Structure formats: structure tokens, C-alpha cells
Amino acid sequence: MNKIEALVRPNIRALCPYSTARDEYQGALGIFLDANESPYPTGWNRYPDPHQKALKAKLAAIKGVPAECLFLGNGSDEAIDLMFRIFCTPGVDNAVAIDPSYGMYNVAADINDIEMRRIPLGAEFSLPAEELLAAADAHTKLLFLCSPNNPSGNAFPTEALESLIRRFPGIVVLDEAYADFSAKGSLRGRLAEFPNLVIFQTLSKAYGLAGLRLGMAFASPYIIRLMSMVKYPYNINQSTQQLVSEALDRPIDAQVAEIIAQRARVATALPAFAFVRRVYPSDANFLLVQVDDADALYAHLIADGIIVRNRNRVTGCAGCLRITIGLTSENDRLLQSLQAYEKGDIHR
């Protein structure tokens, strides 16, 4: 058994997965009396492809990875849960994560009864590599990293990530949900160098498809096979497979460039307000902003019809709001509302 196989839960290593009716017949034409479907066409009366072959081929070409290194999930949230179910024995194993980061890592750990060791980011939200390594013991299976990180917005230096992935004794999950907005790019082209690396990306951010729920994981063919065995057989529904495939024909570059330009514009405008203490540098499609009274500003914005995320009570984020970059007109409205707040014209 190699080092990666040894990290897998014994019951998953031994799993005999469900085989769908369609696994036994690959052709497209025929009379399908195998899956107890309705024969009456509604547009949706047939089960979707459980292996998402056509969509995977298209996404693999776009992302420049072999299709056998790609898993598709019902959002990245499905892939997060699968990591615990594949690698961690409930009540026995543990995982390590940076803090603050995306809240679902902790929720999925709790649901799966896995201890999560949360390690605070260093100064200026830097990667606490030595502390993350020191937190691992013989029962540590997973390390969750997120770059660019939510909610701090910064991407970690590639060399720091590489060295941590090489040294960490378990699986490293690197969530790149916001990588399309970052000049640091992605590590997905270098999977062959890191057998313990699983990269998550999503179509919910730069691709504008949050409503369709499509998350991607990039990893070695062995880890992707495990994820495919443990997922629900038809985890990506037919409409998502079709609509995502169509959407992928429309380029996103201009919109991503516009978001990045608007991010610079809002980041430049915010420090002019007296109540803004700090705008953190961002490699993502949002800004983390520290203000004098985060709860009061949050309440004002809500009362003015502008919803942001209050991160005031999150580790290392005291006084902070997380503001997503919207359309130019929406960002204009945000800045107008902040002007009103500064002048004392406070919505309650």
C-alpha cells in the first residue's frame, strides 16, 4: 500500500460502489428498458450520465488537465464533504485548517464528527506553515488551504504553498474558488508533482453559474476514482450538465477583467472615508475592509438595501466587512451609501 492509499478510510478502500443500469451499456441508441424510467418524453425522463463524460471532456480541455484528473460535484461543497467521508474515520481522525477561512470546512468536519484543528493565519494573513505542520499527528488526514483565501482575500505565495504541500503528511486540499481573479493563477497544471494534492475550483464565481451548482476537484486519477465511487450516482443533474456545457462556449475574460478593474476602483475609493481603517489587498472578487464600527455600518447598509457580509466576529477580522465587487452601478450605489453614512445620514 502506498502513502496515499494508507490515508484512505479502510471501509472506503474496500468499497464496492453502486453500479448504475447504464454502466453496463455505453451506446446512445437503443430501447432503454433497464432503469425503470418513464418512456414518455418530458425532456427529463432519462437519468443523466453518472460519469458526466461530455461535460468532463469539455471542462478538462478548457482547464488543461486529463479528464481522469477531474471530478465534478454539486458545488465545491459536495467535494469538501467527500474529503471527510473518504479519508477520515469519524471520532478518530482529525483535520487541520487555516483560520479564518471558508466556513464549510468546519461545518463539514462537525457533520462528519471529525476534530478540526484551526490554526490562525500569521501577520497580514500570511500562511502559518510551521504551525500547520506542528498541528498534524498520526491521525491527521487532511489540511484545508484556501488561496485566494475567503474572507481575507489574499493569495498565498506559490512557493510557500508548494513547500507546505510537499512537507504535509496527509492530503492537502487547496481551494482555488477565486483563482480566476488572481495573478498568481492555479496549481492545477502541476498535479503530477503533488500526489497528496486536491485542488477545488468552482463555476460559482468567475463563471457566473452559482445557481447551477457545479464544483470541480483536480487530483490524481486514484483520488478522483475514490471521489467518483463515494458520490451519489447522479450527483450532477441533466439540466446542469446541459446548461453548463452551453455556458462554457461564452468567454468570461471580459467580465473577469471588469471585476478586477472595479476591485481596484473600489479599493482606491474606500480609504477616503474617515471611518475606513484599512482595505486589505485582494486577489479575489471581494474586499475585506476594516472600519470603525462594523456592526453599525453593516446595519446602515442593510437598511439602505445593500447587503454585505459582516465578518466582525471572525478570527483576525475584528471590525471587518467583506464586500463583493458588483456591477459598476452597484459599486456606485455602495460608495454613495458610504458617503451618506459619513455625513451622518444614517439609515436605521
As measured in angstroms, the least distance from the Cβ of 135 to ligand PMP is 20
- Asked if 303 touches ligand PMP (CB under 6 A), the answer is no
- Indicate the SS3 state at residue 289: strand
Which residue, judged by CB position, is nearest to ligand PMP in the bound state? Answer: 75
- The answer, yes or no, to whether the previous bond of 50 is cis (omega within 30 of 0) is no
Q: How far is the CB of 51 from ligand PMP (least distance, A)?
A: 20
Q: Which amino acid is at 232?
A: Y
77 binding ligand PMP? (CB under 6 A)? yes
**Starting at the edge strand that comes first in sequence, how are the strands of the sheet with 94-99 ordered?**
70-73, 215-218, 197-202, 171-175, 140-146, 94-99, 115-120
User: Does residue 177 belong to the site contacting ligand PMP (CB under 6 A)?
Assistant: yes
Q: Which amino acid is at 167?
A: R
CA-wise closest residue to 188 among 149, 158, 166, 225: 158
Q: What is the C-alpha to C-alpha distance for residues 221 and 215, in angstroms, rounded to an integer?
A: 17
Identify whether the C-beta of residue 297 lies closer than 8 Å to the C-beta of residue 323.
Answer: no
Shortest approach of ligand PMP to residue 149 CB, angstroms? 7
DSSP annotation of 157 reads P
State the Cα–Cα distance between residues 338 and 191, nearest whole angstrom.
Answer: 44
Nearer to ligand PMP, 202 or 290 (CB): 202
CB atoms within 10 A of CB 94: 19
How many CB atoms are closer than 10 A to CB 293? Answer: 12
User: Of 75 and 169, which CB lies nearer to ligand PMP in the complex structure?
Assistant: 75
Among residues 142, 143, 146, 155, which is the contact residue for ligand PMP, using CB under 6 A? Answer: 146
Cβ nearer to ligand PMP, comparing 202 with 228: 202
Using the minimum distance from each CB to ligand PMP, give the nearer residue, 87 or 102.
102
CB of 35 to ligand PMP, least distance (A): 28
Asked whether 173 and 143 are in contact (CB, 8 A), the reply is: yes
76 in contact with ligand PMP (CB under 6 A): yes
User: Binding to ligand PMP by residue 182, rule CB under 6 A?
Assistant: no
Looking at 270-308, list the stretches that DSSP marks H as alpha helix, in order from N- to C-terminal side.
294-303
- Choose the binding region for ligand PMP from 9-17, 74-82, 252-260, 296-304 (rule: CB under 6 A): 74-82
Our finding on whether 99 is near ligand PMP (CB under 6 A) is: no
Radius of gyration of the chain (CA): 22
Residue 210 contacts ligand PMP per CB under 6 A: yes
Phi, psi dihedrals of residue 31, rounded to the nearest 5° = -105, 110
Q: Tell me the closest approach of the beta carbon of residue 147 to ligand PMP, in angstroms.
A: 9
The answer to whether 180 contacts ligand PMP (rule: CB under 6 A) is no
Stretch of residues binding ligand PMP (CB under 6 A), selected from 28-36, 75-83, 91-99, 121-129: 75-83
Which of 94, 140, 147, 150 binds ligand PMP (CB under 6 A)? It is 150
Strand 115-120 relative to strand 94-99, pairing? parallel
Q: Binding mask 17-56 vs ligand PMP (x if CB under 6 A, - otherwise)?
A: ----------------------------------------
Does residue 147 touch ligand PMP according to CB under 6 A?
no
Q: Interface with ligand PMP by CB under 6 A: which residues? A: 75-77, 102, 146, 150, 175, 177, 202, 204, 210, 215
